[in-house]
Amino acid sequence: MADHNVPDYELADTLRLDSPNQFKALFDNTRSEIIDLLNERSATIKELAETLDKPKGTIGHHVGVLAEAGLIHVVRTEKVRAIEAKYYGRTARTFLLHSLTGDDVDLAPEFFLATAAAEYSDAAGRIPDYTDSGPLSTLRYARIPESRAVEWVQRLVDLIDEFIGEERGGETTYGLVLGFYSTSRPHLPDTKTS
């Protein structure tokens, strides 16, 4: 039985993105969709084009950009009639992002949140609020010590790992967006204890 928690090919756990070309390659909507699909299993350009409902030439271009940046590569080939089909896979399950200096990369901090907000809005319009799997959102604030903030970040990272490790199945792809950040919101002073 196939292990649905990992793709059907070997890949590294992490890849640290350290060049502007990698950032630029990854942060395009179509290329991000390709990267996400390849987290499930390897695929040909034809399969990706059909799944994304885009021309093969367009997907071929995006696959080339991702391959040139070292984010995907050919993981196997198969002879289909007289043609050799190339199956592409990710080079790593997780891409680690870090800041690059200079103006080489124009990655707005809100990139992930803007993408999630658009998808959330679409989902909210399709799914009634009363369903158990419908969209859920909340925004809360808590004034906590920095040491606890570090613990919360780790708990959220663990939750993300659990989410992406779920067995693949069903007919719906769900999104999970998490944010943890310091704010400039005012707070009442601590009360003095006697």
pLDDT greater than 60 at residue 131: no
The answer on pLDDT for 117 being more than 90 is no
Would you say 47 and 56 are in contact if contact means Cβ atoms under 8 Å apart? no
Highest mean pLDDT among 24-28, 84-88, 130-134, 165-169: 84-88
pLDDT value at residue 123 = 75
Domains and CATH numbers, the chain: 1-102 (1.10.10.10), 108-194 (no CATH)
Model confidence at 52, in pLDDT bands (50, 70, 90)?
A: very high
Task: Give the residue with greater pLDDT, 8 vs 61.
Answer: 61
Task: Count Cβ atoms below 10 Å from residue 3 Cβ, excluding itself.
Answer: 9
Contact by Cβ (8 Å): 135, 124: yes
Q: What percent of the chain stands above pLDDT 70?
A: 82
Asked if residue 34 lies in contact with residue 114, where contact means CB atoms within 8 angstroms, the answer is no
- 59 burial level (CB within 10 Å; 0-12, 13-18, 19+): buried
